[in-house]
Amino acid sequence: MTDSPVWLITGASRGIGAAMARQAHEHGCRVAIVARSDAADALAISLGEGAIAVRADVSNSASARSAVDQTIEAFGRLDVVVNNAGVHRGGRVTRLSEEHWQEVLDVNLTGALNVIRAATPHLGEGASIINIGAVVGFRGFPGDVAYASSKAGLSGMTKALSIELARKGITVNLVVPGLVLTEMTSGLTEAAMETMRQQIPIGRLGQEQEIASVAYWVAQSRYMTGATIPVDGGLLCSFGVVG
């Protein structure tokens, strides 16, 4: 395992991030499981050799650099960076607090940039950066202005960096999960969940592993960069095509 690719995944202690860590590890990759709390420890222990837990707050640039440094120190290289860390704070525009607005942007958007800035000097030909977007970043949903803005910004960042980093042979792509039952979405009411489910052409919620499988494939794709890859059961199609 000493020569196998190394993945750094933020927000990887649970949900989609944890599923991606398991997917990469099952394929023989080494994985740095990055999270703000110590919850990543249990996952790293369960995966065993080739997995480490790294405590970091990506909204802090020094902490993001430390996460990358710890990964390099442990594994000696870095091949795939997944920006999955995210927070959700709802509220219509007249009720959304300034603190919640800033928190969402700091983690979801600036946090991704902090990690990319720290990681890029260690990435070489064939490396991959995967940003995790959201359907709401491409279509409106009332009360979701902060989360939607952060994810729309992540889409723009992906496109700009895909051009900027292409000369180094680094791909940058955006994977867009649909409605997946995770801890973040579990706060939605049953009525809201059912309303959303009815708008999904496939007719069901997604599974964390389905997102992870696509993310792993994207990391291997060498001639795709700047792409938006929905994994949403057709949800985006039912509201219009992503531009």
Beta-carbon-side half-sphere exposure of residue 101 (alpha carbons within 13 Å)? 11
Chain CA centroid to CA 168, Å: 22
Residue 147 known to be catalytic: yes
Best CA proximity match to 173, nearest among 106, 82, 102, 100:
82
Q: Is the CB of residue 148 less than 8 Å from the CB of residue 141?
A: yes
Of these residues, 7, 75, 138, 147, which one is catalytic? 147
Q: Is the CB of residue 212 less than 8 Å from the CB of residue 16?
A: yes
Question: How many CB atoms are closer than 10 A to CB 192?
Answer: 11
Active site residues: 147
